[in-house]
Chain A
């Protein structure tokens, strides 16, 4: 069975500061991992995905995530936060070729001017 834990339901950073959103997963098979973003009154939009091709994955809007098997982590980072990054971020895992996507509870990112 797969599961996802996002540490911190709310993260606040200053504009220009590093963004770090944490995600740990559990999967009995090599996982596919995803980060989605949800802006207010919108659906979820894919930021990036890990499919075993490379451990460091670059996504849209300057975000990237690193897959660390030893730590079962897939943390999302961005070097410099922008006001437009304020949104809710969801980590998701799918175990292997079968199975459905399992989402974490989400982390709401606030960016202070």
Chain B
């Protein structure tokens, strides 16, 4: 499989549940990103990893916990979420950070928090 793959595509969870989103890229990229996409708001950068090291945490609440075990995989662990956390979570990767590097996006995980 090529490109950036996100699973699950849809997730419904209660506020007390614990779940995880998974992202996998087969492009040989070194940087991976989590974005949150909510209606009528710009894409919000959440986390950036470069060579498995976290380089950016954009003041994200601790109920979101990222994990990057290697350059090909990125997880977003979710616990005790709020209804306002319902959104489309997009994973992306790029060869490196910065400059003219192009982000390649996955199709997203649509999260609904009840």
Residues of A within 8 A of B (CB): 4, 9, 32, 34, 36, 41-46, 49, 51, 90, 94, 96-106
Contact = CB atoms under 8 A, between A and B. Distances in A.
Contact of B107 (A43, A105, A106): A43
A43 B92 CA distance: 9
Contacts of B100: 32, 49, 51
19 contacts: A34-B102, A43-B6, A43-B105, A43-B106, A44-B90, A44-B92, A44-B105, A45-B105, A46-B103, A46-B104, A94-B99, A96-B98, A98-B98, A100-B45, A100-B98, A101-B45, A101-B103, A102-B42, A104-B42
B: interface residue count bin: 20 to 34
Contact of A32 (B90, B92, B97, B99): B99
Task: State the majority secondary structure of interface residues on B.
Answer: loop
B81 interface: no
Query: Nearest 10 A-B pairs (CB), nearest first?
Result: A43-B105, A103-B43, A51-B100, A44-B105, A97-B99, A43-B107, A105-B42, A98-B98, A103-B42, A97-B98
Interface in B48-73: 48, 56
Contacts of A103: 42-43
A41 B110 CA distance: 9
Contacts of B42: 4, 102-106
A13 B99 CA distance: 34
